[in-house]
Structure 1
Amino acid sequence: MPVLRKVSPSATSEPTGTEACFLSALQLASGSDPAFRASTLPNRVLEPGKKATLIVRFQPPSEGEFQGLAEGWVSHPTHGHPLVNLVGRGVQGCFSVQPTTVDFGINRLVCGPRTREFMAYNDCPGEVKVAGMKLEQAGAQFAVSGALPATIPPGGRVKLTAKYAPVEEGDDAATVRFTLKDGAVFNAGLVGRGLSKTDQTDRFIQQAEARVDVLFVVDNSGSMMEEQQSLGANFAAFLSQAAAAQVDYRIGVTTTGLDPSPGGWSECPGGALGGENGRLFPVDGTSPRIITPETPNAAGVFANNTHVGVCHWNEQGLDATWRALSDPLLYNLDDPRTPQLNDGNGGFLREDAKLAIIVLSDEEDFSSQPVAFYETYLLALKGNDPSKVSFNAVVGPEDLTTCTTSSSSGSRYMELARRLNGVVDSICTPNWAASLEKLSESAFGPNRAFPLSELPEDPGAIAVRVDGVPVTEGWAYDARANAVIFERLRAPAPGVVVEVTYPLGCP
């Protein structure tokens, strides 16, 4: 008989007898609060000792208690409808753990443990005392480590490490529970899938990108005046693909500055003195901060919003990106930490929209975390679906002799763009209209890059099918992005199914 038990953030059904059983519709029950989300598992036969796991994600829209129910049906005469209660609480706090779900993806059983990093943050005005960090799981697939319990000073960060080593095939999930000294509890989820097979087939449905959210991160240092003007003057080129495909877009701008400029020969406009800290520009609301197809004089608004000033000298574009797309800015119309009114980013990011990030800078990024951290966080925003996120970099090139006005190469930006299937271009581009057309294609055009879920052991053995028909040309494997990328004129049409089969390697 299967026994359904809760393994936050999941519900797991495991046969405990000696006979196989039939599992039907492991899912969220009707009437569960929308704060809980899960995809129904397909019907299946569970062999003795095997398991089926329903991954439940919890995203509260406000403070308060939320309740739900996970249910399934099994072939048992008296226990055929097992249930699991789901309970969660939303709080407004300045302590956080990011990302809230660490997804290890697929790991072959013959490969070694897979490692991911995540962070505990104290953005409170005072110290936070973390009294405990406890891993709750079924089995011993996951392990966590880090310098907790500890007292974290204001603005402090504690790097944590999670490892995943599956012992059998199937989905695995666990919860890392953080307990503060005042009794508050915060959770982070760990998920992964163990596989023993030697081949992997990734399936993609080519979507027509009807909804896209675009975040520009613009360098506001002293050498960027001409580039800001060129960007603002070529807005029509950027919107070329969006107009052709009738995309429902939202466009926002922030800067690479986190703290207000200490002053000097120039002041930055917008109300934050160059220290947007992830807030959309202009912070003071003197022009619309989110541009949509309905925005009057959108080109003029974009030109204004990209003239962010040239007052700052510490470019931290990746941190600015992360802060723009995380609490407390992301879900609030007002940033509770600042005196300005209505300076939050609430309403910018839509759950069902593709996210495109475009950074423009003539300096290297000096943000606080490894590039892999930002990759993990941005993917987690979109359910770890690489086709829903792109990161694009118009920065100092690797060969600075081709761009003498750039202070340094934007190597960290370029690395993230390659990881997240974006466009890389030189900040010294001689043709801004052409460069912005390429960025427009990346943000709004048909998807050409299909990131593989795992690392192929032999890239030469990759096989591609489109709607079941083998395709042997018009695409190439990009090892840096670990993706199959189609040529521009060979991009699969909306609605078709793209299948990529390859032998599995070990990361």
Structure 2
Amino acid sequence: MKPLIALCIYLSAFLLLSACAQESGTIIAQKTLEQPKVELPVYPDVVQPEQPEIPVYPTVNQPEIVWITEDGGQSQLDFNPRVDILFVTDNSDSMKSAQANLIKNLNRFTNGITNNKMIDYHIGVISTWDSSERFATKKKDTYQIGELRNVKSIAGTDSKERFVTKKDSAGVLANTLKIGVAPYAEGGPEVEEFFSPLAAALDKSGHAAVNEGFFREDAQLVVIFMTDADDSSTRITPEQMAQTLIDFKGGRQDKVSVYGVLVNAKDPDSVKDWDLRVHPKYHPECFTGQKNNGKCTGFGPERLEEMIVAANSGAGNPKQIREQYIMSITSPIFGTELGRMGDSITVKTLEKQIFLSQIPRVDDAGKLMLRVRYGTADVLAQGKGQLIPNKANGGWTYNPSSNSVKLSGNVKYEYKEGARFAVDLVPVPLAN
């Protein structure tokens, strides 16, 4: 029995210890699980700054160099220089020798104009006028104020034409300009007027008028006064006459040139018309009791000179204009000065302005990318022709304010019948 009892006791103790061990492990585990949690600090989210976008730059390309040629259909590229030359000639009795001197040296005046194959010219003449009743009733010719004189043939007979053109010979021109004189005793003018017949000549240029066809819209207008007197028009001032001519050419002063073959105030009275002499009838202020009081030293064509300066005001200061546009009617070198005047008219007539449709570009060296060629249409179409130099004297210049090319009047052209201009340029690129 005892062993059995002992075994029972042993088994009971074993079971008791096992139970205690189980409970003890559970307690330890529970204690382990019930340890206080460590709270980690909560930090706000850090916002990373956005990376800046890298700008994408367009590829920089230099504008392509492309030469273009101005529209060949533009009439302004044609070259048909025209000039209408009007002589306003004094035909009073004192002008006989002066007219003879003009005819004697006429070839020196017309040489550059008539021998230049490019120039299409009209040359006509009107005479001075006298508004007095005496002149109106006694003058013998049938020409009215401002009427162009008829062209005279080689034989000296009148034709139906009123002005000389390229088809006429030098002899026809000489005979036409030699209008002769009308002495005072035979009804000739006493107090000469030049502005009034000039204004009338312009008025009589309309359709079916006596001067129709002489003045052309696109032609250079040249007026030449030839007298030993001064203008005596009472209703027209020198400035008004100059402006009338400019207005007649559409406001373009560059299309008007006025010259004078005149006496000078310092010339002796013997070579002047009576109205410029120190004479009691025409200048009573110079006399006291019919005796010369010594106050007057001489008179010149002041009104004509004022008008010439006003009409050519773009050509320099008054002194320069007088030197260029006025010559002495009594000059010992009359022919030379007349030739110089003719050359001046030729150069002015051959000047040309071409307006461009696009603005030319300048290259990296600062050179204008522009060129001017001259030649016939077929030659120009091949990119050839006479290349006109870029220079003021004997070439062309560019005017940025008007975007135009101006050709000087003394370019040495290789003349070709029907030739014209071509203007080549690289235009400034348009902004995108």
The TM-score with structure 1 as length reference comes to 0.43
Q: Which has the larger radius of gyration?
A: 2
Q: TM-score, normalised by structure 2?
A: 0.49
The structure in which a higher percent of residues are strand is: 1
